[in-house]
Amino acid sequence: MSVVLEVRDAWKVYPGNPPVESVRGVSFTVERGELVAIVGPSGSGKTTILNMAAGLDRPTSGSIRIAGRAAHGLSDRRLSGLRAHHMGVVFQRFHLLDHLSALDNVATGLLYRAIPGGRRRAAAAEALERVGLGHRAHHRPHELSGGEQQRVAIARAVVGRPELVFADEPTGNLDTGSGAGVLALLDELNGDGTTIVVITHSEEVARAGRRHIEMRDGQIVHDSRSSG
């Protein structure tokens, strides 16, 4: 088994009076092909740990290794390169660019790898097919439903076949039906071999029956694969 993500004793302390310790000594590993759900109450540090794992934020202390590479000490350009080449991110607010079609939004996922436009769009068309939206490629985000927009965002995250896909409450802005559809899609992508770390609500994960990490007050209180 190969380890794709390794978080070791990560701390995140926001300076202030008193300082906010939003993540306090978190360690876990994710192996290739896993789907890991991070659950826990609001404010427990889920987003903070996900952002650090995705290289969007740096831990105050501790180490993060992504696809075997230590994230700390990397220059901005290399850390960004790590995101561009090895990771995909999905947000609760879909963050699609309004002036671009669904296809071009998905192709943006390859923009910072300096892949020529033609190849980006070809890969984007394929990714849209994978999320079942091949027929909506030329629609603008505002012409799509919330669930469809999130599927476009997921296609954008997976268009470069990254080693790791992070999703922060991808169903948070969706009704139950579309939310279930999005989770089913993540399941399906995971079945195809994509490694996924997703923050979500516990009932949905219970239904999925996969590994979950439960957080509280900045610490992991339960990991269903306790060996991690």
Partner 1 sequence: MTATDRPRTFPGTPATSGSDIGLSRLRAADLIPVATGGLRTRRVRVLLSMLGIAIGISAVVAVLGITRSSQADLLARLDRLGTNLLTVVNGSNLSDAEVPLPATATTTIGHTEGVEAVAPTAELAGVGVYRSDKIPPQITGGLSVRAADSSLVSTLGADMLAGTYLNEATSRYPTTVLGHTAAETLGITDLSGAPRVWLGGRWYTVIGILRPIELASEINRSALIGFPVAARDFAYNDRPSRIYVRSQTERTLEVFEVLARAANPKNPNEVAVSRPSDVLTARLEVANATTTMFVGLGAVALLVGGIGIANVMVISVLERRSEIGLRRALGAARRHVAAQFVVESFLLGTAGGVAGVLVGVTVTYGMAVHLGWQVIIPPAAMSAGLGTAMAIGVLSGIYPALRAASMPPTQALRTS
Ligand X SMILES: Nc1ncnc2c1ncn2[C@@H]1O[C@H](COP(=O)(O)OP(=O)(O)OP(=O)(O)O)[C@@H](O)[C@H]1O
Interaction site with Mg ion (CB under 5 A): 47
Is residue 138 a contact residue for partner 1 (CB under 8 A)? no
The residue number with the shortest CB distance to Mg ion is 47
What is the phi-psi region of residue 45: left when phi exceeds 0, alpha when psi lies from -120 to 50, beta otherwise?
left
Q: Which two tokens stand for residue 148?
A: 């469809």
Query: 109 is in the binding site of which of partner 1, ligand X, Mg ion, none (Cβ under 5 to 8 A by kind)?
Result: partner 1
Q: How many residues bind partner 1 (CB under 8 A)?
A: 53
Residue (133 or 158) nearer to partner 1, CB: 158
Helix (H, G, I), strand (E, B) or coil at 80: helix
Asked if 70 touches partner 1 (CB under 8 A), the answer is yes
State the angle between helix axes of 176-191 and 146-158 in degrees (0 to 180), rounded to the nearest 10: 20
Interaction mask 185-214, partner 1, x per CB under 8 A: -------xxxx-------------------
Residue 19 DSSP label: P
Residue 202's binding partner out of partner 1, Mg ion, ligand X, none, with CB under 5 to 8 Å set by partner kind: none
Give the Cα separation of 18 and 22 in Å (integer).
Answer: 12
Q: How far is the CB of 40 from ligand X (least distance, A)?
A: 6
Residue 80 binding: pick among partner 1, Mg ion, ligand X, none (C-beta 5-8 Å cut-off by kind): partner 1
- Contact status, residue 66 vs residue 7, Cβ threshold 8 Å: no
Q: What is the dihedral angle through the alpha carbons of 16, 22, 25, 28, rounded to the nearest 10 degrees?
A: -150
Residue 100 makes contact with partner 1 by CB under 8 A: yes
Say whether residue 117 binds partner 1 (CB under 8 A): yes
The answer to the question of residue 130 lying near partner 1 (CB under 8 A) is: no
CA-nearest of 67, 4, 78 to 36 is 4
Are 35 and 186 in contact by the 8 Å Cβ rule? The answer is: yes
For ligand X, the binding residues (CB under 6 A) are 14, 20, 22, 40, 42-48
d(CA 113, CA 110) in angstroms, rounded, equals: 5
CB atoms within 10 A of CB 89: 21
Binding site for partner 1 (CB under 8 A): 1-2, 31-34, 51, 54, 56-57, 67-70, 73-74, 76-78, 80-87, 89, 91, 93, 95, 97-100, 108-109, 111-114, 116-117, 123, 156, 160-163, 192-195
